[in-house]
Amino acid sequence: NELVDIKNIYQDIRNKIIRAREKIFKHIDITMTEVYWYVGKITYELSEKSTKASYGKRTIDILSNKLMNEFGSGFSPVSIRRMRRFYELYPIWPTVSTELSWAHFQELIRIDRKEERDFYEVESIKANWGCRELRRQINIKLYDRYLVSPDKSLIMKESKKGLIERQPEEILKSPYIFEFAGLKENKNYLETDLEKALLSHLTEFLLELGRGFSYVASQQRIKIGTEYYYPDLIFYNRLAKCFVIIDLKIGKLTHQDIGQMQMYVNYYKKTQMIDGENEPIGILLCVDKDDAVVEMTLGDSIKNVYDSKYLTYLPTKDELIKIIRDEKELYEMANEEGGKNE
């Protein structure tokens, strides 16, 4: 019927647009990687000319500051040192594979052994691994297991278990490419992916923590007054005997965010808490461009007893901040992936 035809036509056009965009972004990524290689070459040669290590560091810092002012955070001192490392490991540009993205190379340059690095590079191309899948294979020590195994085909077959499929749209989400090309990225698109990655990681962390956490719900709908709200994660801690409400915000922490979390805590205290239980605890996680912030929202009766036994079952602020920073770094590095690239 007509409705089915429109749906098919729409899907056909949509696929055509995505493939066209992918080609454009792929070309940008190759060009970007070549520029990063060139920056690595220049900074490497500068450091080789100088007899003082401090001179090389100061030069990179000054150069980084100038480049960031004009072209964004992709040229931070840490990023430039990665570019230099990239050049050191791949000193001949024509030999650099254009089948791999900059995010792939950021994973590869962490590997010291050339033969191991070559193995992962070849497999990434042959098996069409995305950046996240490459990282996963490195983490499960595929190369080392491959070397010692008498049945190498079995090892390669087993490595496909848990495979993270490379999606054709992944490269469209790369924050590196948006910044390099001077384009305005789709913030909602990227933030949603980052939120998913963080919340998934956080759920795994709490359930594996061994401190009495049980998963209750995600995006649970609650009605307060005439409005509906959806706190990101709800847990129950049987040792602390309380609900733990977690909400994640992308951007600067606001008083409105804190007020909303207090509202959640009050709601669960009023509607879910039973005799013998402790008051709910709210954990507000805030991720902005520069850092991570964790705010605890406690019930009125425990606001001044942060070190009480009641709270020792919870992860510390430092533990939570580390989770956020680690996942955010992975996302941004390959965020072409986790949020995405490749």
Q: Are residues 157 and 262 in the same domain?
A: no
In a domain, 76, yes or no: yes
pLDDT of amino acid 328: 66
Q: Are residues 241 and 308 in the same domain?
A: yes
Q: Are residues 326 and 207 in the same domain?
A: yes
Select from 50, 78, 96 the last residue of a domain: 96
SS3 label, residue 140: coil
Burial environment of residue 302 by CB neighbours within 10 A (0 to 12, 13 to 18, 19 or more) = middle
Q: Are residues 130 and 245 in the same domain?
A: no
| Owning domain of residue 277 | 189-332
Q: What are phi and psi of 87, to 5 degrees?
A: -65, -40
Q: Are 337 and 104 in contact (CB under 8 A)?
A: no
In a domain, 29, yes or no: yes
Select from 96, 121, 147 the last residue of a domain: 96
In a domain, 39, yes or no: yes
pLDDT of amino acid 40: 95
Q: Are residues 195 and 284 in the same domain?
A: yes
Whole-model pTM: value is 0.49
Q: Are residues 199 and 121 in the same domain?
A: no
In a domain, 175, yes or no: no
* Helix residue ranges, H only, the chain: 2-49, 53-71, 77-89, 102-108, 114-126, 131-139, 142-148, 152-158, 175-180, 187-208, 255-271, 309-312, 317-333
Please give the C-alpha separations between residue 205 and each of 14, 101, 111, 215, in angstroms, as whole numbers.
37, 30, 26, 11
pLDDT of amino acid 19: 83
CA distance 131 to 153: 23
Q: Which CATH number do you get for residue 313?
A: 3.40.1350
Q: Are residues 200 and 220 in the same domain?
A: yes
Q: Are residues 201 and 306 in the same domain?
A: yes
CA distance between the termini of the chain: 38
pLDDT of amino acid 190: 44
Q: Are residues 161 and 232 in the same domain?
A: no
pLDDT in tens, the chain (342 residues): 666 678 888 888 988 888 887 788 888 889 999 999 999 999 998 888 776 666 677 888 899 999 988 888 788 888 999 999 999 999 999 999 999 999 899 999 999 999 999 999 999 998 888 888 888 888 878 888 888 777 667 666 655 554 444 444 444 445 555 555 555 444 444 445 566 666 777 777 677 666 788 888 888 888 888 888 888 888 898 888 889 898 887 777 788 888 888 899 889 999 999 988 888 888 888 776 555 666 666 655 444 333 344 455 566 667 777 767 766 666 565 444 333 444
Q: Are residues 83 and 131 in the same domain?
A: no
Q: Are residues 158 and 268 in the same domain?
A: no
In a domain, 290, yes or no: yes
In a domain, 27, yes or no: yes
In a domain, 176, yes or no: no
Q: Are residues 88 and 109 in the same domain?
A: no
Select from 96, 127, 144 the last residue of a domain: 96
Number of domains in the chain: 3
In a domain, 184, yes or no: no
pLDDT of amino acid 6: 83
